[in-house]
Amino acid sequence: MDTRSFSPIDRFIGEIDKAIKVLTAPANAVRQSPAAPAVESLSEADRTLSARLMRVNHSGEVAAQALYQGQAMTSRDPEIETALRQAAAEENDHLAWCELRLAELNGRTSALNPLWYAGSFALGAAAGALGRGIGLGFVEETERQVESHLQGHMQRLSSSDERSRAILEQMMQDEIRHGAEAATLGATPLPAVLRAAMRLTSRLMTRGSYWL
């Protein structure tokens, strides 16, 4: 076990390094992509739509990395920090799967990802500083909204795009589990006004990444 003690400056530099890797380096998944090999026959319109939707999902995973890392950095509870780091590792699988699928669709990642990362990291850090209940409540609500978002994307995907659908289905299962784990650890329900603000922020990110 690593028992070294890191100063705030050391941890901040470490977070900068993580951000650079998320934003510039190819993500490496621990788990195999759930998209089974298949011969695809997508129309150009369906391919374009899938690429845009997967770009949005990729941006969401970039934001998830930042959210969990920011919250783990300010959390004063070792149990919570460990759970957040584990969730971030699983979200990294999602990031890698979305990157791979984008490449298959001849798509690209969003030019706005640095903005989404910075904003999500700040939100996560603020949530972690507010204490165990609110911080975990933020995670639970985020995962609930992501679940709804993924369901919407699966409804929009062409029925021919089985590979993208398989990825989104596995991502949704993981998000549901992360939200349940946050609730088990002691999440406090967030005020309605904060939930509404989170939904507005999510819509801005979704629309921005869909086009840019």
Question: Which residue's entry shows tokens 């911080």?
Answer: 135
Q: Rounded to a whole number, what is the distance in angstroms from the first to the last CA of the chain?
A: 43
**130 DSSP 8-state letter:** T
The whole-angstrom separation of Cα 54 and Cα 97 is 10
The pTM assigned to this predicted structure is 0.87
CATH 3.30.70.360 fits 47-211, yes or no: no
In the predicted model, residues of the chain with pLDDT beneath 50 are 1-3
Which of these, 137, 7, 141, 118, lies nearest to 65 by C-alpha position? 118
What 3-state class would DSSP assign to 183? Answer: helix
Which of these, 101, 189, 114, 110, lies nearest to 144 by C-alpha position? 189
How many Cα neighbours within 13 Å face the side chain of 37? Answer: 0
Tell me how crowded residue 70 is: count the other CB atoms within 10 A of its CB: 26
The predicted pLDDT at position 3 comes to 46
The predicted pLDDT at position 51 comes to 94
The predicted pLDDT at position 82 comes to 79
Q: Which long-range contacts (CB under 8 A, 24 or more apart) does 22-27 make?
A: 22/62, 22/65, 22/66, 22/95, 22/117, 23/62, 23/113, 23/114, 23/117, 26/96, 26/99, 27/92, 27/95, 27/96, 27/99
The predicted pLDDT at position 10 comes to 62
The predicted pLDDT at position 67 comes to 83
